[in-house]
Structure 1
Amino acid sequence: MTATASAGDGVPRVVTAGETMMLVAPSGPGRLRHAGAVTLSIGGAESNVAIGLSRLGIPASWVSALGEDEPGELVLHRVRAEGVDTAAVRRVPGRPTGLYLREKVAGATRVYYYRRGSAAATLAPGAFDPSILDGAAFLHLTGITGALSAECAEFVTWAAKTAGAAGVRVSYDVNYRSRLWEPSAARAATEALLPSVDVLLVGDEEARALWGWDDEACLERFPDTGPSEVVVKLGARGCAATIDGERLTAPGFPARQLDPIGAGDAFAAGYLAATLWGSDPAERLRTANAMGAFCVQNLGDYEGLPSRRELAAFLDRTVDLGR
């Protein structure tokens, strides 16, 4: 499959699909139970990627389902405000929008999900009109969606195959969440999907948790299962990849980490954006690393993601005095 499709104005487009929740977090470090004030935001891997792409000037559409409730309104308004197309988002009567609580205690981030029976758990084959893929270069999916329900697991498979049939490349971020499913289930679901995946993104820690593989094993074995591009995220160390048979590594950028949440999604957005800009493999990895480093230096899942101008300045090490 080739990424030759583009939107009507000639700019390639990306479609993402998955759940986004209302995020509640204390306004500062400390236990949630002692918080005198909290902030309301949103959290969702696929919408994070869509927002990251939109800020970089890449048209993005987000497919999901939300409850007919105030959290659903909050999510929808925040995503729309970032310029993401939400026409394929369904509202589901009688089902709540997922809730996501977060606290930071002794430097460690803890999360609490309330998403069982959520509106997004109703995503199933046929959840979107395949015409939304017209003009798209990529469909981006993550392993989080398949963990939400049996219907969602079927949806991920259907969505990937539908994209493939339409000539749209599929990118898949393993994004393993131990609070959602067991390693054996996540591993089996990923392996079943890999023949339909073109670009595989996997973190080094989750590769060890699910397969017991190190970086070298991932780069050697995953390409044989389907993906022509396998990228292993190494956190602050950068990343390593096998792209069309070529092995590459890219060092990370120095960054003072304030909040690690969303860094993997920023990485994915950077990699896809650079691919659509026509960058060579080495520059794709460098751009992805830069997006991840930019993200961790800001608070929030997506709030600190850069514009294309800001990303270029970061890559060029241009100093912005801010005045």
Structure 2
Amino acid sequence: MDVAALGESMVTFLPSRPGRLADVPSFDRGIGGAETNVLCTLAAAGHSARWVSRVGADGFGDHLVETIGACGVDVRFVGRDPHRPTGIYFRTAGDRATDAHEVAYYRAGSAASAMAVGTVDAEALGACRVLHLSGITAALSADCLDLLRELTAPRPDRPLVSFDVNFRPGLWHDGAGPEVLLELARRADLVFVGDDEARAAWGLDGGQEILRALPGPRTVVVKRGAAGATAYDRGDARPRELKATDDATAPDRGEARPQEQDATHGATAKHRGDARPPEQDATATSVPAPKVDVVAHVGAGDAFAAGFLSATLRGLPVRDRLRHGHLMAAAALTVPGDLATPPDRDHADRLCALDEAAWERLRLGPGWTTAAADGAVQEGRTP
């Protein structure tokens, strides 16, 4: 597999009309889950993706497995729990663009919250190039946290570990969230974190402070919403297979490679044998987000992670990884639900190849992912 992910997905109920949950008479059913949003987007972009989780032995569990499987994701390693239900949640619709919508979760005691080291297939999670995890899973239960600690433990044969902080204060009733999320982020190879999350969880302001707090990861991506994103790269954070292939074809320069280029995992990368501050080891690459005619502010963070991971799997340079992340996020922002049809790979590659001025002129609106508009692309605009 290109990417495997562990995490809870829930059945989502979206109101059929705007208004308070107390006033809405009917709902439409969908799916929601940070990790499965990433996997479904990657599968739509042509990558092999696997979901490992647990759902209830109920109709909602059937719906999740069938729907996510229909997106092209491998769901063979999703267990069924006969004693615990599948999680569900309700949310309002009309005010979602303002992030002021109501959300009512019914996930306590869910099948996914009972995931533990002995209840999921560790080999299925390890047999991939990238393992994607989220801080949401750590908040579900003590067993889930132990499982994430096991999966992020440093070992020579683990996949590249991608970790999206996803700080949700409402899930951390004991107040332990910030400390736990910092621990897990430090053990990952690639970390996604919003600047607002870092400020709320850790009291950190700006990329340099975040880097000092995260000495281990090879790459830290700091998202700044509509302002764009910055990737701080301490070395080559690609899956092992890509690095092995490139290194085998690279000319022999007759010189020793720096230790940070040989290390496979962020967990070992912090031991560089020098006294430089961690932020001085990183190369910063910033890319502004394109202008987007937003339909709904949901799913954009997961889509950004999927775009960045897709470009990482393809071995693209850091600037293009960020641009692909922004394009995937723009696809999610221009549809009403969590999941969007990503742009055709050739279309996305042409947009990523725009010069800086054309990229900054780019404006994306509803329907842009299916618009075949080469002329518009050349001018840095697309319908």
Q: TM-score, normalised by structure 2?
A: 0.76
Report the alpha carbon displacement of residue 185 of structure 1 after superposing the two structures with TM: 1.2
Structure 1 residues 243, 58: closer, same or farther in 2, change over 3 A?
same
Task: Give the counterpart of 1:297 among 334, 348, 351.
Answer: 334
Gaps of 5+ in 2: 235-281, 355-361, 363-367, 374-381
Letter in structure 1 aligned against 2:61: G
Deviations for 1:83-140, whole angstroms, at most 9, x for unmatched residues? 0001110000020000111113544222221110000001111333332245511100
Deviations for 1:258-302, whole angstroms, at most 9, x for unmatched residues? 111111100110111000111001111111111111211111111
1:170 maps to 2:177? no
Aligned equivalent of 2:7: 18
- Asked if 1 retains the 8 angstrom alpha-carbon contact of 2:92 and 2:103, the reply is yes
Please identify which structure carries the higher strand content.
1
Structure 1 residues 214, 182: closer, same or farther in 2, change over 3 A?
farther
Separation (CA, whole Å) in 1 of partners of 2:322 and 2:124: 28
Aligned equivalent of 1:233: 223
1:276 maps to 2:268? no
Please state whether the residue corresponding to 1:109 is helix, strand or coil. coil
Deviations for 1:226-267, whole angstroms, at most 9, x for unmatched residues? 111000111111101211110111100111111111111001
1:118 maps to 2:110? yes
Matched length: 309
Report the alpha carbon displacement of residue 177 of structure 1 after superposing the two structures with TM: 1.0
Gaps of 5+ in 1: 1-6, 8-12
- Asked if 2 retains the 8 angstrom alpha-carbon contact of 1:144 and 1:176, the reply is yes
Aligned equivalent of 2:133: 141
Structure 1 residues 42, 218: closer, same or farther in 2, change over 3 A?
farther
Please state whether the residue corresponding to 1:34 is helix, strand or coil. coil
Separation (CA, whole Å) in 2 of partners of 1:197 and 1:314: 30
Q: TM-score, normalised by structure 1?
A: 0.89
1:29 maps to 2:29? no
Aligned equivalent of 2:152: 160
Aligned equivalent of 1:68: 57
Deviations for 1:27-51, whole angstroms, at most 9, x for unmatched residues? 3332223224311000000000100
Separation (CA, whole Å) in 2 of partners of 1:68 and 1:235: 38
Aligned equivalent of 1:215: 206
Please state whether the residue corresponding to 1:32 is helix, strand or coil. coil
Letter in structure 1 aligned against 2:219: E
Aligned equivalent of 2:274: none
Task: Give the counterpart of 1:320 among 354, 360, 372.
Answer: 372
Structure 1 residues 77, 70: closer, same or farther in 2, change over 3 A?
same
- Asked if 1 retains the 8 angstrom alpha-carbon contact of 2:79 and 2:120, the reply is no
Q: Select the structure of larger CA radius of gyration.
A: 2
Letter in structure 2 aligned against 1:202: V
Structure 1 residues 167, 154: closer, same or farther in 2, change over 3 A?
closer
Alignment of 1:181-200 (within 5 A): 181=172, 184-200=175-191
Please state whether the residue corresponding to 2:137 is helix, strand or coil. helix
Separation (CA, whole Å) in 2 of partners of 1:197 and 1:219: 14
Task: Give the counterpart of 1:54 among 20, 39, 43.
Answer: 43
Structure 1 residues 72, 133: closer, same or farther in 2, change over 3 A?
closer
